[in-house]
Homo-oligomer: A and B are copies of this chain.
Amino acid sequence: MGGDIGPDVVVPGAALALKRRPDLQFLFYGDSERVSALLDQYPMLKAVSKIHHTDVTVRMDDKPSQALRQGRWKSSMWKSIEAVKTNEAAACVSAGNTGALMAMARFCLRTMPGIDRPVIAAIWPTLRGESIVLDVGANVGADARQLVDSAVMGAAMAGAIFGQSRPTVGLLNVGVEEIKGIEEVRLAGRILKERPHPNLQYHGFVEGDDLGRGTVDVVVTEGFSGNIALKTAEGTARQISQYLRQAMSRTLLARLGYLLAKGAFDQLREKLDPRKVNGGVFLGLNGIVIKSHGGTDAEGFAAAIELGRAMVVNDLMAKIAFGLAHSLAAAPDFAAAEEQTGAA
């Protein structure tokens, strides 16, 4: 029921995903009449789907606390997350209210052992392919321990969707020298450097322009700057697209040139298509939950479903658990490292 459009995007999105990934099966939670009417248009999808009716819907502008109070146990959002908890579903995909989804997912699934709080990971298109950036907005601020956990979880996700056994990890900072930036990031850098990890290669600090360059496979942020970086990049891409449109329509020659090069422009548009990398992944929970952009269309929602599928098929949860188990084994060092930094 979530997102700006609701079932009219979610159901066609599922149909698209099914066409590309025939092993998918679906559980729909929401207004059974609306969903059922839509499913009638997609017989193949209908054959692999079950509808669970719910009366309560979390609205896009509900506060997380409000959503929890009114929607716990009974809303479509809650029920779809609960299906992951009870193993009826392998992953939950929602285009609904991010804050509410996070609050409910956290309440229902709980965080993994040793994890304080979940983070949101995004896939970032780069000149070298794709990177994972986390946290992009679940939290504002993180301590060194939480940053190291994010590094481990992000590396596990890179392992799951890019197939890398030891992805490179960088910490987003305002300079690459070890003395730069906020204390938590510096301390996390020291810990990652001094404590080799079987699942990741620590690269060091990276800066904002390393994101698009694809300098590392995984970029770890404390949440506040990660969200701002993500939205700044989206905004800059829109800005340049608009400049380009304006420039290409200004003169007759430019318009003619545009027509000739239309294939190239279409390629570019596809490369910049935000729907292709739609899907914020909640990491650190006992289950897979994907947040689709609320304003996306069926194509974008299908991408979020396929992302969820990829993480199930490639065993994201086991990869994270393995990574964290190794990280936790060395946990007592944190206190010592923090003391040292405090004294320095």
Interface centre among A253, A258, A260 (most CB of B within 10 A): A260
Inter-chain contact A140/B181, CB cutoff 8 Å: yes
Inter-chain contact B264/A248, CB cutoff 8 Å: yes
A interface residue count range (under 10 / 10 to 19 / 20 to 34 / 35 or more):
35 or more
Inter-chain contact A232/B256, CB cutoff 8 Å: no
A221-273 with Cβ < 8 A to chain B: 223-225, 227-240, 242-244, 247-248, 250-251, 253-254, 256-265, 267-268, 271-272
Decide if A137 is an interface residue (CB 8 Å cutoff). yes
Given contacts A240-B272, A263-B253, A268-B247, contact A207 B228 (CB under 8 A): yes
Q: At the interface, is chain A mostly helix, strand, loop or mixed?
A: helix
B residues in contact with A211, CB < 8 Å: 232, 235-236
B residues in contact with A209, CB < 8 Å: 231-232, 234-235, 238
Identify which of B141, B174, B253, B263 contacts A251 (C-beta below 8 A): B263
Decide if A25 is an interface residue (CB 8 Å cutoff). no
B residues in contact with A232, CB < 8 Å: 208-209, 211-212, 229, 232-233, 236
Kindly provide the distance from the CB of A92 to the nearest chain B CB, expressed in whole angstroms: 23
B residues in contact with A126, CB < 8 Å: 239
Identify which of B137, B233, B264, B272 contacts A174 (C-beta below 8 A): B137
B residues in contact with A240, CB < 8 Å: 236-237, 240, 268, 272
Decide if A182 is an interface residue (CB 8 Å cutoff). yes
Inter-chain contact A260/B254, CB cutoff 8 Å: yes
B residues in contact with A256, CB < 8 Å: 257, 260-261
B residues in contact with A236, CB < 8 Å: 211-212, 232-233, 236-237, 240
Identify which of B231, B253, B265 contacts A260 (C-beta below 8 A): B253
Closest to A210 in B: B235
The distance in angstroms between the C-alpha atoms of A212 and B250, with both chains bound, is 21
Interface centre among A223, A237, A250 (most CB of B within 10 A): A237
Inter-chain contact A254/B261, CB cutoff 8 Å: yes
The distance in angstroms between the C-alpha atoms of A235 and B237, with both chains bound, is 11
The distance in angstroms between the C-alpha atoms of A240 and B287, with both chains bound, is 35
Kindly provide the distance from the CB of A320 to the nearest chain B CB, expressed in whole angstroms: 25
Identify which of B207, B231, B263 contacts A254 (C-beta below 8 A): B263
Kindly provide the distance from the CB of A126 to the nearest chain B CB, expressed in whole angstroms: 7
The distance in angstroms between the C-alpha atoms of A127 and B238, with both chains bound, is 10
The distance in angstroms between the C-alpha atoms of A243 and B127, with both chains bound, is 8
Decide if A172 is an interface residue (CB 8 Å cutoff). yes
The distance in angstroms between the C-alpha atoms of A260 and B264, with both chains bound, is 14
Inter-chain contact B234/A174, CB cutoff 8 Å: no
Inter-chain contact B268/A244, CB cutoff 8 Å: yes
A–B complex contacts, Cβ < 8 Å, 21 sampled: A127-B242, A140-B174, A140-B182, A174-B224, A181-B224, A207-B228, A208-B233, A208-B235, A209-B235, A210-B235, A224-B224, A224-B225, A225-B228, A229-B229, A232-B232, A232-B236, A237-B240, A253-B260, A257-B261, A257-B262, A260-B260
